[in-house]
Structure 1
């Protein structure tokens, strides 16, 4: 049986990815704190409340869930949970916010991939991991030192893990969704310019209709996963599949 798991699947891009898997009649587990009320009751939707900033809790869940699967042949693991906070200049950040961001954006997906590889070997199922990344990983952005650096670290982790696996091993790729009309974008637009210098640019994205809908972006990812031959370690970018919004 083919199944999917999406961290942070209750809203935004995560919820869109969950919905597209369901449309393809693939059993999907949303790993998040709140769950998606609009999907509860759907035969293909399952919610598991997990704090992804707690490594011991989240890893315990992943192992327990996997051990309960008796007929699992393939798992799509979409590591989508993340945070753009703290949006602040170096010297002004709350240390606990830095710790939380690193735990959610890098430590959790790296540790989950590490365990998932091992479990896939033990249970003998095919594994495809997708790490959701960002264009912020490619260059410095005022106020995004932590967000950008954690995404850059995750990108290199993905490439290295794929290199180790080779063409015949487990598949791990990155997916860059570009700018979307999500709650994270609302956070960005409400930030003070002293903390994030490009806030006006992001406000204009919204005003000028340049933000894609997460449903559209999530649909591209699921279509790629189910219909293309994946290249291990590749960074897939939504802009290669959809017309530019600029």
Structure 2
């Protein structure tokens, strides 16, 4: 049996990854604040298996409890491979430094950086103890590598997740582990996050007109296209530990 644990599974890229995994006969474990009811019907149609665990990734306590339950389901003698896709993330707050709300700062850092680190740490431990092959994918962004006016938190947390990915990959290589961890930069997609970006103010986000242009000119890829490229990469199993993969190089 193969399992795919996907955070932010109810919409956008996470939804597209989950659908493709079900088509590939991989058992899907969705994690999000709300459930996508379509998956139950799709799993039944495809003869697959789907489980949903509601979880608020802004809570470290809730993460610990939920992923303990997920681990009990996932790591057993019949499991031949586990994929963990840390996909959930948030762009808000879009605002310049000096105008950021304290609560918004804490929530963004928790969801974008602390949560995937905590989840990876827990799943790595359980995979190691059960000797289960594991591939972790941390969804990142091009914003991790360049400053964007109004995105100080998003840029910083994605840069942090890149360094966590690279460092963990180095550690696994030094341990001669069969487990893998990679990053995936999906580029610009037609998702709700893009809608949020386009609804921000020009004062807060200097590249507002550029991002509106992406939509108007049809430059946004569908989540399905981006998800398919990632799933093919994962299922081939030929990934380099700690490497950040870019969608433009895979399509």
Distance 2:94 2:34 in 1: 24
1:228 Cα deviation (Å)?
4.4
Paired residue for 2:68? 63
Show the counterpart of 2:28.
Answer: 28
Structure 1 residue aligned with 2:87, among 80, 103, 108?
Answer: 80
Shifted more, 71-80 versus 11-20: the winner is 71-80
What is the DSSP-based 3-state SS (H/G/I as helix, E as strand, rest coil) of the residue aligned with 1:166? helix
2:136 maps to 1:124:
no
Cα distance in 2 for partners of 1:83, 1:21 equals: 23
* Counterpart contact for 1:63–1:119, Cα < 8 Å: no
Alignment deviations for residues 132-182 of structure 1 (CA, whole Å, 9 cap, x no partner): 000000011100000000000010010000101107312100000000000
Q: What corresponds to 1:109 in structure 2?
A: 116
Query: What displacement does 1:45 show?
Result: 2.1
The aligned counterpart of 2:180 is: 171
User: RMSD of aligned C-alpha atoms?
Assistant: 1.1
State the Cα deviation string for residues 98-141 of structure 1 (Å, max 9, x = none).
Answer: 10000000001011111111111122211110000000000111
When normalised by structure 1's length, the TM-score is 0.96
**Equivalent pair of 1:9/1:32 in contact (CA under 8 Å):** yes
Gapped regions of structure 2 (runs ≥ 5): none
Determine the structure 1 residue equivalent to 2:247.
Answer: 238
Superposition deviation, residue 44 in structure 1: 2.3
Unaligned runs of 5+ in 1: none
* Pairs aligned (count): 242
Q: Does 1:186 align with 2:195?
A: yes
Correspondence for 2:233: 224
**In the alignment, is the contact (CA less than 8 A) between 1:30 and 1:46 conserved in 2?**
yes
Alignment partner for residue 51 of structure 2, among 46, 50, 71? Answer: 46
Q: Secondary structure at the match of 1:139?
A: coil
Kept in 2, the 8 Å contact 1:21–1:27? The answer is yes
Cα separation, 1, equivalents of 2:219 and 2:237:
27
| Aligned 8 A contact 1:86 1:98 in 2 | yes
CA distance in 1, matches of 2:20, 2:98: 42
Distance 2:108 2:244 in 1: 22
> Which residue in the other structure is 1:133 paired with?
140
Residue of structure 2 in register with 1:14 after alignment: 14
Question: Secondary structure at the residue paired with 2:38?
Answer: coil
Say whether residues 1:97 and 2:104 are aligned partners.
Answer: yes
Q: Which moved more, 1:147-156 or 1:67-76?
A: 67-76
Higher helix share: 2
